[in-house]
Copies of this chain bind each other. A is one copy, B any other.
Amino acid sequence: MNLDPAVSAEALMIAVERMVRHVRRSAITGGLSMAASTALGRLVREGPHLLTELARAEGASQPNMTQLITRMERAGLVSRVADPHDGRAVLVEATDIGLEVFRQRCAERADAFQSLVEELSEPEQQAVRIALPALDRAVQARQARQDCS
Contact = CB atoms under 8 A, between A and B. Distances in A.
Interface string A79-102: 000000000000000000000000
Contact of A12 (B8, B118, B128, B138): B128
Q: How many copies of the chain does the oligomer comprise? A: 2
Contacts of A128: 12, 127, 131, 134-135
A116 interface: yes
B142 A134 contact: no
Q: Which 6 A-B pairs have the closest CB atoms?
A: A15-B136, A9-B110, A127-B130, A131-B131, A127-B131, A127-B127
7 contacts: A1-B129, A9-B113, A12-B128, A16-B16, A18-B140, A19-B136, A20-B20
